[in-house]
């Protein structure tokens, strides 16, 4: 079944002849670009305050709302519960992936206009639009060569999609790290005990030999030139591949991306 098209975004050009930045703003659930864009621009007088900024207001396509008994409304994805957005996340994946694809397309278009300078693009989202924006940034781009950092992300009255899954991933990783730490500690203690035992045996043997031969022997010497000291930092460390050393949040995002099968 073919996907329904998204409405044409509302584009508000800069008041000045110079175009320095672009703000892409995502409305909340049940709203649209015209209503949200007009209220946002007039309430804060943004065009006057930011005369060189171009504003782009996309509109979410109509989707049947589960919570409103299948009534079609403008929403970036379907929500089973407005009180707890984490319920029935299976209903959210399709809409979030479609929305992320649309937003990435808008970012790419604006970057081309701004000379491939992604740092001059700001993504802004309200409520469900904020959640959709977070999802888009976490998912990244399908081609790693196309991934760029945006200038900023502004989220208002939003939430983190799939928060429960994130917490479970982080909790399981913390338990795994804790278990590894305990194992390493036990191995270290065992190693120390073995070293002490070996040291005592060698000391006893040395004492007996010295007593029998009545000969003074000098202690062992250490050649410090034989040690290889690594002055340069590791160049091969990749936090997205090195499972042992990657921060927990990076591991969580990696597993999160794989879990959702981002486009």
Q: Which residue has the higher pLDDT, 131 or 227?
A: 131
At 256 the three-state DSSP class reads helix
Domain count, the chain: 1
> Distance between CA 90 and CA 66 in Å, rounded?
12
Q: What is the pLDDT of residue 73?
A: 93
Residue 94 lies in a domain: yes
DSSP string of 164-207, one letter each residue: HHHHHHHHHHHHHHHHHHHHHHHHHHHHHHHHHHHHHHHHHHHH
Is the pLDDT assigned to residue 233 strictly greater than 50?
A: no
From residue 161, give the alpha-carbon distance in Å to each of 13, 53, 125, 186, 212. Answer: 31, 29, 13, 39, 77
If one compares 13 and 236, the residue with the highest pLDDT of the two is 13
Output 81-87 pairs: Cβ under 8 A, ≥24 positions apart. 85/131, 85/159, 85/161, 85/163, 86/162, 86/163, 86/164
Contact of 112 with 22, CB cutoff 8 Å? no
Residue ranges of E strands in 60-105: 62-65, 71-74
CATH value at residue 117: 3.40.50.1820
Report the C-alpha gap between 226 and 55 in whole angstroms: 64
Question: Which range marks the domain in which residue 125 is found?
Answer: 10-165
Residue 172: burial class (beta carbons within 10 Å; 0-12, 13-18, 19+): middle
pLDDT of residue 259: 43
Q: What is the structure's pLDDT at 179?
A: 58
Cα 96 from chain centroid? 16
Residue 220 has pLDDT above 50, yes or no: no
204 versus 3: the higher-pLDDT residue is 3
Q: Does any domain span residue 177?
A: no
Q: What is the pLDDT of residues 155-212, one digit of tens each?
A: 999 998 888 877 887 777 666 556 566 666 666 666 665 555 555 555 555 455 555 4
SS3 65: strand
Q: Is the pLDDT of residue 34 over 90?
A: yes
Tell whether pTM > 0.85.
Answer: no
Q: Which residues of 221-257 are buried (b: 16+ CB within 10 A; e: fewer)?
A: eeeeeeeeeeeeeeeeeeeeeeeeebeeeebbbbbbe
| Residue 203 placed within a domain | no
Q: Is residue 72 part of a domain?
A: yes
pLDDT in tens, 57-101: 999 999 998 888 889 999 999 988 778 877 888 888 888 999 999
Q: Is residue 263 part of a domain?
A: no
Over range 225-238, report the average pLDDT: 43
On whether residue 143 sits in a domain, the answer given is yes
Name every residue whose Cβ is closer than 8 Å to that of residue 104 and which is 6 or more positions away in sequence.
136, 141
9 Cβ contact partners less than 8 Å away, ≥ 6 residues apart? 33, 56, 57, 58, 59, 106
Q: Which residues pair with 243 in a beta bridge?
A: none
Residue 158 lies in a domain: yes
Is 151 among the domain residues? yes
Across the range 41-50, mean pLDDT stands at 92
Helices 93-113 and 248-260 cross at an angle (nearest 10°) of 110
Residue 229 banded pLDDT, cuts 50, 70, 90: very low
């Amino acid at each position: 079944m073919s996907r329904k098209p998204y409405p044409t975004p509302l584009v508000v050009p800069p008041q000045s002849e110079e175009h320095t930045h672009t703000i892409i703003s995502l409305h909340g659930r049940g709203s649209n670009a015209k209503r949200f864009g007009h209220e946002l621009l007039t309430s804060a007088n943004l065009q006057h305050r930011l005369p060189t900024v171009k504003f782009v207001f996309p509109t979410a396509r109509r989707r049947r709302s589960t919570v409103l008994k299948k009534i079609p409304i403008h929403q970036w994805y379907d929500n089973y519960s407005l009180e707890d957005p984490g319920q029935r996340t299976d209903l959210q994946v399709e809409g979030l992936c479609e929305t992320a694809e649309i937003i990435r397309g808008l970012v790419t278009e604006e970057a081309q206009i701004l000379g491939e300078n992604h740092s001059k693009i700001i993504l802004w989202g309200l409520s469900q639009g904020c959640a959709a924006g977070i999802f888009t940034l976490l998912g990244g781009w399908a081609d790693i060569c196309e991934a760029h950092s945006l200038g900023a992300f502004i989220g208002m009255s939003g939430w983190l999609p799939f928060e429960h899954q994130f917490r479970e991933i982080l909790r399981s990783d913390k338990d795994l790290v804790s278990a590894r730490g305990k194992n390493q500690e036990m191995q270290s203690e065992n190693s120390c005990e073995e070293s002490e035992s070996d040291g005592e045996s060698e000391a006893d043997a040395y004492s007996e030999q010295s007593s029998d031969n009545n000969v003074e022997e000098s202690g062992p010497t250490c050649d410090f030139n034989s040690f290889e000291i690594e002055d340069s930092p590791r160049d091969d460390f990749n936090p997205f591949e090195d499972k042992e050393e990657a921060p927990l949040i990076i591991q969580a995002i990696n597993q999160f991306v794989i879990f959702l099968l981002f486009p």
